[in-house]
Amino acid sequence: MRHLLSMLFFLVSSVVLGQQTASVVGALSDKENNNEPLPFANILIQGTTIGTTSDFDGLYELPNISPGNYTIIFSYLGYETVTVENVLVSEGKVTTLNVPMGASEGVALDEVVITVSAKKDSETALLLDQKRATTIKTSIGAQELARKGVGDVGTAVTKTTGISKQEGSGNIFVRGLGDRYNITTLNGLPLPSNNPSKKNIDLGLFSTDIVEFIGIDKTYSAENYGDFSGANIDIVSKDYKGDGFVSLKVGTGINSEASGVDTFFLNEGPNQHGFYTKNYPAFPLNNYNFVTSWDRTQANEPINTSFSLKAGDSYILGEETKLNVFGVASFDNGYSYKEGVTRGSVTVGGIARRDYDYQTYEYNTNSTAMANIGLRHRKNYIQYNSLFVNTSAQNQQEYRGVIDAFDYAPEGGAFVQRASYERTSLWVNQLLGKHELNENLDLNWGLSFNLIENNIPNRRQNTISPSNWDIPEGPKSFAETLNGADNHRFYQTLDENEMAANLNGVYKFKYNEDIGKHEGKLSFGYQGKMKEVDFGATQFNFRITKRDANNKRIVHPLITDVYNLDNYFNLENRLAGLFSIETFRGNINTPNALDPQTYFGKQDIHAAFANLELTINQKSSFVFGLRAEDITQEISWSTSLDPNGDTSTLNTFEILPALSFKYAVSENQNLKFAASKTYTLPQFKERALFQFEEVTQVYFGNPSLYASKDYNLDLKWELFPSNSEVIGLGIFGKYIQDPINDVTVNSATNDISYVNTGDSAKAFGAEFELRKDLFSSEKETAKAFLKTNLSFGLNVSYLHTNQELDGDKVIEETTAADILALSIDFTNESDSLSGASDLLINGDLSFSKQFAEDKDLMATVAFNYFSDRIYALGTEGKGNLVDKAVATLDVVFKASLNKHLSIGLNGMNLLNPNIVRSQEVQNVDVLTYKKGTNVNLSLSYNF
């Protein structure tokens, strides 16, 4: 109740709104001057103050007007005023009005051309794109994201066919193909990853505020990088052309799990806004100089908030020059809470060696700022995008139970806590240019420079077990601590920078006068990306001293309050010799003890491509492309075990063909086919012969790892019953030669490495999509057409994947390479791809009704389901770790109250199912929790 009250208070004391999506655009031409563009003419909607002026190209736009029926007046000094009546403006559509104007003779109204098209971020526009394209692609636009209440790009892509997201990791699986098979770009230029072990950036970092639409290309085109087999996910950032606007949105909400706890706890140090950083103190190995507390602190009430401000405007700078600017700034934060069991190292006999009940308090922030500036001069367009995203994830994790059933607090009673804070800052800068050099030749180019910084400052962990292991409920003590690293502070920095360049020419030929279009298009060009990664980590281990200088066992105090460990790890006890401080390189006597463990990676890819797009006849068109890529990867490292380090290099050259074919069966029906060859590169870390530690798991690279070859085949039939409806049915097949998996190799400590696990993996499946208007009606009033619409959307994908798991191949190939022989005993001889659910379903039912010109209501119920999928392959007789099927249900309401104000109410994850990861064969749940239902209320205000 208290939460509800504070939520209401917050809402009432804020101002807010909603952005309408209809607009009128057009071109004015000068009949007195050979129909050249007519700039500086006035355009006004009769009976309103809405108006604008045409630009140098004679272009104008009346954005964000309410749907309705208008009379629009065009006037220019000395010219005859033109009045166009009955201009119908509908939600989500762009009405185009091209008007010729003259000085004396009147303009015949039939010279005025009115067409209605859709805005790029609307669902209809994207559907139209899909219909026209020769290639097979899907997009999801801002409009659909708003309708489904989606706040980030990671969730957004899961609303499209065949894509699911792994719990906890942010990994996206496309048709069962995980991180290494996908590519993420922003406006066609590559994005660096925020995680050293991943290829793709976490899409959850991107707020949908910056998105115009997200293009998801599941078939390969030679214009894209060839390290691909799942999807190329291109985030197209918002671009603005038109009159100035400002819109403000604020929201608040709660998570049912977070608000269900009596007191919410977090770490000492990090602040609310998520811009915190902390270095370790000077002289960390001397005495005890750390200042931040080991203990949890009480946090604020777990109430989520969000804020976003968007603004855009256009300026006329000179005779033939126009400048567009758009900016968005947003901040949101969220609290969540998980509890359940977590188990690890479950043996073949079914004993969970690690077995905890746990609680995790989490607090996340996202601050996003984006600005883009577009400059048009004649037939040249240059755009600069700058995007800054800062995210932080803070959590307080507490585990109670058995650390190791054979070795460490075997009867339970141990307490392990981890205070973690991770911050990622991404700064993307892009300069894009488009030039129409002449009738037949366009030149496009792009340059980007991206920086990403990922920091884990001052992660703290404590491990304490019962003083007598046979009495788990008894008092605890550090005396029985086993490893020097059980109590530690950890500092990690990852800096990545990537420069990328695109340069391509488009030669258009075979002009067809009937349709006013070129039927042939040859694109050719260069693409390059050069990436550098710099990783460093230092961990300070607080080693519990067991014996004093006289070799006598030290008596450690009993710990009665595990939430007051500052009482133990402090200067006094350090001076008393109860513990010492060391790094993984050694203690204070080791000269380089403070050198971080590092690696430095470089990857350069240079590519040349040519792509021919040709319309054969009215029904058939094809695209054939060829691409060549030269790839160099290099990684060098220095770690505690290999302080002098080493370097590992991979060079490869790939030739990649791609073919797409489209046959228009009828006006509204297409048959599309695509085939391509691509490759899957190992991540450079995966080839480095050194141990890399991630929280609780040790990984090491395999220098004999090599690229897989991928063969992709797609066939799709699509029918567009109307502008807003589609039925699609596709089948696809993938053949991956020498696929790469990360699996547990035979070792004394269950380390994970990366190997070409078999000769082949196959994936084939069928995808079905449907968007249908169930009911649609329009009522005419004096001011507007009032629409009522009920629509239904469904996408289903069925997937069958199978890969050979061949331990002999692994031994043979790694032995032949003569660097490091590896062996793996797979539990199964063949298995599904990890991350692949057999069945994925997305469904939604949307209802919208306009009550008056500025009053409407929209309601959507969205449903998502994925079936069981493998999280990690089993080895040595242990079963696969499997994420159990999950169904989610979301409800989204939006209502516009008047011209300025709208209100939104979302209920996400209403079913709040148990999330379960389980080890098959042994049938042991290794992770359980509930995500909680999120209820959010928002207000938007359009100025």
Partner 1 sequence: MKKSILKSVAFLSIVTLMASCSKDETPNKDNDGIQNGNETGIDCGGSTGVTCPDSEPSEGDGDTNANTSENLEGELSEAKTLDASKAYNLTGSYIIKDGGKLTIPAGTVIIATGGTSSYIAVAQGGQIFANGTAANPVVMTSGAANPTSSDWGGLVLCGKAPTNVGSTATSEVGDLTYGGTVSDDNSGVLKYLRVEYTGAAFNSSKEFNGVSFFGVGSGTTVEYVQSYNGGDDGIEFFGGTVNGKYLVSTNSEDDGIDFADGWQGNGEYWYISGAAKAGIEGSNNGDNSGVTPLTTTTLSNITVVGPVTEGALYFKEGGGKFTINNFYTKGINLGVKVKDTDTDAANRIEAGDLKITNMQFDAPVDGYKTTDYTGATQNFITVGENTGAGNSAAAPAWTAGWTKGL
Chain residues 738-757 in contact with partner 1, contact rule CB under 8 A = 745-751, 753
Residues numbered 626 to 655 that lie near partner 1 (CB under 8 A) are 640-644
Interface positions, 286-315, toward partner 1 (CB under 8 A): 286-287, 289-292, 309, 311, 313
Among 547, 655, 829, 923, the residue binding partner 1 under the rule CB under 8 A is 547
Question: How many CA within 13 A on the CB side of residue 391?
Answer: 18
Q: Are 302 and 258 in contact (CB under 8 A)?
A: yes
Nearest to residue 545, comparing CAs of 573, 571, 572? 573
Is residue 501 a contact partner of residue 447, using CB atoms and an 8 Å limit? Answer: yes
549 binds partner 1 (CB under 8 A): yes
Integer angstrom CA distances of residue 540 from 393, 548, 669: 22, 21, 64
Nearest residue (CB) to partner 1, 424 versus 723? 424
Residue count, binding to partner 1 (CB under 8 A): 101
How, if at all, do strands 68-75 and 113-118 pair? unpaired
Kindly give, in sequence order, each residue whose CB lies less than 8 Å from that of residue 573, ignoring residues fewer than 6 positions away: 579
What is the footprint of partner 1 within residues 163-202 (CB under 8 A)? none
Q: Which of 15, 103, 558, 575 binds partner 1 (CB under 8 A)?
A: 575
Cβ atoms of 882 and 853 within 8 Å: the answer is no
Selected from 223, 295, 422, 582, the binder of partner 1 by CB under 8 A is 582
Q: Which one among 11, 820, 861, 885 touches partner 1, defined by CB under 8 A?
A: 820
CB atoms within 10 A of CB 712: 23
Which residue in 10, 280, 663, 764 binds partner 1 (CB under 8 A)? Answer: 280
Min. distance of Cβ 407 from partner 1 in angstroms?
A: 8
Q: Which residue, chain included where needed, has tokens 């905890």?
A: 356
Q: Which stretch of DSSP H or E encloses residue 11? A: helix 2-12
Of 728, 706, 730, residue with least CA distance to 719: 728
Q: Is 543 in the site for partner 1 (CB under 8 A)?
A: yes
Helix/strand/coil for 783: coil
592 binds partner 1 (CB under 8 A): yes
Name the segment binding partner 1 (CB under 8 A); options: 495-503, 515-523, 684-692, 858-866. 684-692
The number of CA neighbours under 13 Å toward the Cβ of 779 is 9
Q: With CB under 8 A as the contact rule, which of the stretches 164-172, 184-192, 547-555, 668-676 interacts with partner 1? A: 547-555
How many angstroms separate the CA atoms of 539 and 367, rounded? Answer: 29
Question: Which 390-429 positions form the footprint of partner 1 (CB under 8 A)?
Answer: 390, 405-407, 410, 425
Q: Which of 329, 373, 675, 790 binds partner 1 (CB under 8 A)?
A: 329
Of these, 6, 321, 347, 828, which contacts partner 1 (CB under 8 A)? Answer: 347
Burial class, 780, CB count within 10 angstroms (exposed 0-12 / middle 13-18 / buried 19+): exposed
**Is 316 among the residues that bind partner 1 (CB under 8 A)?**
no
Beta strands in 347-413 (DSSP E): 352-377, 380-402
Asked if residue 430 binds partner 1 (CB under 8 A), the reply is: no
Q: Name residues contacting partner 1, limited to 593-612 (CB under 8 A).
A: 593
CA–CA dist 810, 823 (Å, integer): 6
In the bound complex, what is the minimum distance in angstroms from residue 284's beta carbon to partner 1? 9
* Only segment of 192-200, 279-287, 674-682, 718-726 that touches partner 1 (CB under 8 A): 279-287
Pick one of 190, 226, 327, 932: the residue that binds partner 1 (CB under 8 A).
327
**Please, which residue, 64 or 788, has the CB nearer to partner 1?**
64
Residues 345, 380, 668, 888: which binds partner 1 (CB under 8 A)? 345
Judged on CB neighbours under 10 Å (0-12, 13-18, 19+), 803 is buried
Of 369, 562, 719, 901, the one binding partner 1 by CB under 8 A: 369
Q: Which is nearer to partner 1, 40 or 943 (CB)?
A: 943
Return d(Cα 156, Cα 145) in angstroms, integer.
Answer: 7
Contact between residue 80 and residue 100 where contact means Cβ atoms under 8 Å apart: no
In the shown chain, the binding pattern of residues 47 to 76 toward partner 1, with x for contact by CB under 8 A and - for none, equals ------------------------------
Draw the binding track, 484-523, toward partner 1 (x: CB under 8 A; -: no contact). Answer: xx--x-----------------------------------
Q: Which of 84, 92, 9 is nearest to 46 (CA)?
A: 84
Window 849 to 878, contacts with partner 1 (CB under 8 A): 876-878
**Of the candidates 11, 65, 133, 246, which one interacts with partner 1 according to CB under 8 A?**
246
Q: How many CB atoms lie within 10 A of CB 319?
A: 9
